[in-house]
Amino acid sequence: MNTILLTAAALILARWIAELWLDRLNRRHVFAHADRVPPAFEHTIDQPTYDKSVRYTLAKNSLSQVEGGYNTAILLLALTSGVLPLALRETTAAFGHSAWAMAGFLFAVGLGFSILGLPLAWHEQFRLEERFGFNTTTQKLWWGDRVKGLLLAMLLGYPLVLLVLKIVDWAGPWWWLWAWGSLLFFQLLMVVLAPVIIMPLFNKFTPLPEGSLRERLLALGRKTAFPARNIQVMDGSKRSRHSNAFFTGFGGFRKIVLFDTLIAQLSEPELEAVLAHEIGHYKRHHILKMLSWSAIASLAGFYALSLLMQQPWFYRAFGFEPAQPVAALLLFALLSGAVTFWVSPLANLWSRRYEYEADTYAARITGEVDSLTGALRKLNEKNLSNLTPHPLFSAFYYSHPTLLERETALAKLRLTSPEPEPTAAT
| SS3 at position 415 | helix
Closest CA to 19 of 344, 240, 303: 344
DSSP track, 346-371: HHHHHHHHHHHHHHHHHHHHHT-SHH
Question: What SS3 string covers 36-101?
Answer: CCCHHHCCCCCHHHHHHHHHHHHHHHHHHHHHHHHHHHHHHHHHHCCHHHHHHHHHHHHHCCCHHH
**Is there a contact between 84 and 109 (Cβ–Cβ < 8 Å)?**
yes
- Cα separation, 331 vs 333, whole angstroms: 5
287: phi then psi, degrees, rounded to nearest 5: -65, -45
Q: Is 66 exposed, middle or buried (0-12, 13-18, 19+ CB in 10 A)?
A: exposed
Catalytic residue annotation: 278, 359
The residue type found at 132 is: F
**Is there a contact between 290 and 306 (Cβ–Cβ < 8 Å)?**
no
The strand pair at 255-259 and 232-234 is best described as parallel
| SS3 at position 244 | coil
- Cα separation, 167 vs 154, whole angstroms: 19
**Is there a contact between 388 and 39 (Cβ–Cβ < 8 Å)?**
no
- Cα separation, 193 vs 199, whole angstroms: 9
CA 272-268-409 angle, 5° bins: 50
- Cα separation, 67 vs 70, whole angstroms: 5
